[in-house]
Amino acid sequence: MAQEDIFKKIVSHCKEYGFVFPSSDIYDGLGAVYDYGQNGVELKNNIKQYWWQSMVLLHDNIVGIDSAIFMHPTVWKASGHVDAFNDPLIDNRDSKKRYRADVLIEDHIAKLEEKIEKEVAKGRKRFKDAFDEQQFLATNSRVAEIKDKINAVHSRFAKAMAESDFEELRQIILDEEIVCPISGTRNWTEVRQFNLMFKTEVGSTADGATSIYLRPETAQGIFVNYLNVQKTGRMKLPFGIAQIGKAFRNEIVARQFIFRMREFEQMEMQFFVKPGTEMQFFDFWKQTRMAWHQALGFGSENYRFHDHEKLAHYANAATDIEFHLPFGYKEIEGIHSRTDFDLSQHAKFSGKKIEYFDPEENKSYTPYVIETSIGVDRMFLSVICHSYEEEKLDSGETRTVLHLPAALAPIKLAVLPLVKKDGLPEKAREILQQLKFHFNCKYDEKDTIGKRYRRMDAIGTPYCITIDHDTLKDNTVTLRDRDTMEQHRVDINQLIDIIEDKVSLTTLLKKL
């Protein structure tokens, strides 16, 4: 099945099984805004817990905060967002549709990359077992031609973006004969800048309302609290401040489901270090964050670093952790060495001294910062996409299963009486009563046991127990494993120990 079709299926699965709904669904939705349903919120909370505990619990020099979404408007002047948080937009005159010029070019490059994949597939078909992909990629003339084209477009594009050269962006679109996906024409307007921050007002207009912004990142809430936390927590460098919270961006090209949203959630950690030590900590956080992702067991081949060649003016190193989604390798997390830019800017704009007194050096200086910044929703999407499988069974049937890491699964255990009579529901509820204090359980007595297993597979429940007539005699139940579908009898008194070890976040955290 084409990756595009799989992605469509995942999106409808998310809706059908209570993971993600379009916002204001009964009003036909609101572009790029989504609600998390009864299963989605549990999965999302578990992802957040996994991140939070890996930061705040496992590092004694990292603390958390929860800053407000509304901030003083000068924060965004100081951070550079008022002047530079822009997207280059271009309109197609025929379809009247608006696009991000950079995304049009990136999509064009992705199409060229797909052409290479098609050549590889053709080569594999032709040479069968003798096919050597590395050799083919290095020697095939058609592949070489496409690679040259990609490199040429990419270097023009990177230069135009770095220099904010909008005429050149438009020229690339024209030269590459990129057409509007709706009208199919090349009738493009000029490229214009568009600020991504949402503006609103606080206070009544009569009193003189102040324009403020909905924060486009959570990081600034950390920077403006650096002094508060350092002093009240008596923190010594190096130390970190972590935060999870909503961020808002007026994304123009909103697509790919929850990959690019207008209201989303970030998990950010700013790590304050002594100037000159930042590269050592940048490398440390690159490895630490990659280990966090890979502990989920999705296969190291599905991740890669994408080091930034062109850096923002305040950064001296930056990389993305990309994950293989059905629409290609995409950024899930950014790790940035931001120098002393943010703290210095806030010192300048607020007039406050924002420094650290180093007792060993007996002097004050502005700390440098390494930032790790991951989108909760993108992480959620990567977990769902990797876990989704339409599995062909020996019986010829197909079952849809989410192989979620057990610690992230919304429901850990389903408690299922085999039939709705003979005292089995009562016994099942008695067991549920004991287990529900230990992990998230669901009781289900409707439909055949087979249908109930499938429902649980579809939401990624790692274990099901079935209460049958033997349970009443020998106090045992059938424990079914989601992935292997194997079943074995277990004493009810052993259930907590067996399951807790497999589904607990602690087990996952211990892999780090």
The residues of the shown chain that bind ligand GAP, judged by CB under 6 A, are: 217, 219, 249, 251, 260-261, 264, 266, 268, 331-334, 371, 373-375, 377-378
The nearest distance, CB 342 to ligand GAP, in angstroms, is: 9
| Position of minimal CB gap to ligand GAP | 375
Nearer to ligand GAP, 56 or 196 (CB): 196
Nearer to ligand GAP by Cβ, of 376 and 411: the residue is 376
Q: Closer to ligand GAP by CB, 87 or 468: give it.
A: 87
Please say whether the dihedral angle defined by the alpha carbons of residues 26, 32, 37 and 39, taken in this order, is positive or negative.
positive
Give min distance, CB of 314 to ligand GAP, in A.
Answer: 11
Pick the closer one to ligand GAP by CB: 220 or 387: 220
Angle of CA points 130, 134, 136, to nearest 5°: 65
Nearer to ligand GAP (CB atom), residue 195 or residue 478: 195
The strands making up 192-195's β-sheet, listed across from edge to edge, are: 98-100, 86-91, 192-195
Rounded to the nearest whole angstrom, what is the least distance from the CB of residue 297 to ligand GAP in the complex? 21
**Beta strands in 107-158, from DSSP E residues, in sequence order:** none
Buried b (16+ CB within 10 A) or exposed e, 290-313: bebbbbbebeeebbeeeeeeeeee
Query: Positive or negative CA dihedral for 75, 163, 177, 308?
Result: negative
Q: Which two tokens stand for residue 146?
A: 């496409």
CB of 284 to ligand GAP, least distance (A): 18
Pull the structure tokens for residue 394.
């020996």
Nearer to ligand GAP, 82 or 143 (CB): 82
Residue closer to ligand GAP, measured from CB, 219 or 402: 219
How far apart are the C-alpha atoms of 55 and 243, rounded to whole Å? 10
How far, in Å, CA of 245 to CA of 268, rounded?
Answer: 9
Nearest to ligand GAP of 172, 219 (CB atom): 219
Shortest reach from residue 115's CB to ligand GAP, in Å? 27
Which is closer to ligand GAP, CB of 332 or CB of 459? 332
One-letter amino acid at 274 equals K
Q: Which two tokens stand for residue 263?
A: 């209201």
CA-nearest of 479, 469, 497 to 415 is 479
Query: Is residue 133 helix, strand or coil?
Result: helix
**Least distance in Å: CB of 315 to ligand GAP?**
10
The amino acid that residue 228 corresponds to is: N
CB of 336 to ligand GAP, least distance (A): 7
Q: Give the contacts of 311 (CB within 8 A, at least 6 positions apart).
A: 317, 318
Q: CA geometry: angle at 100 spanning 97 and 106, to 5°? A: 120
Number of other residues whose CB lies within 10 A of the CB of residue 69? 14
Q: Least Å distance between CB 144 and ligand GAP? A: 33
CA 4 to chain centre: 19
Q: Which is nearer to ligand GAP, 325 or 449 (CB)?
A: 325
Q: What is the DSSP string of 384-452?
A: HHHHEEEEEPTTS-EEEEE---GGG-S-SEEEEESSSSTTHHHHHHHHHHHHTTTS-EEE--SS-HHHH
- Distance of closest approach, residue 114 Cβ to ligand GAP, in angstroms: 23
For residue 313, give the 3-state DSSP assignment.
coil
Q: How far is the CB of 329 from ligand GAP (least distance, A)?
A: 13
- Of 48, 82, 1, 42, the closest CA to residue 267 belongs to 48
Per the listing, tokens 């003016």 go with 313
Question: Closest CB to ligand GAP among 136 and 329?
Answer: 329
Report CA Rg, the chain: 26
In whole angstroms, the minimum distance from the beta carbon of 31 to ligand GAP comes to: 12
Of 315 and 496, which CB lies nearer to ligand GAP in the complex structure? 315
- Shortest distance, position 433 Cβ to ligand GAP, whole Å: 40
Residues 6 or more apart whose CB falls under 8 angstroms from that of 325 comprise 7, 259, 381, 382, 385
Which residues are paired to 195 by β-bridges?
A: 86
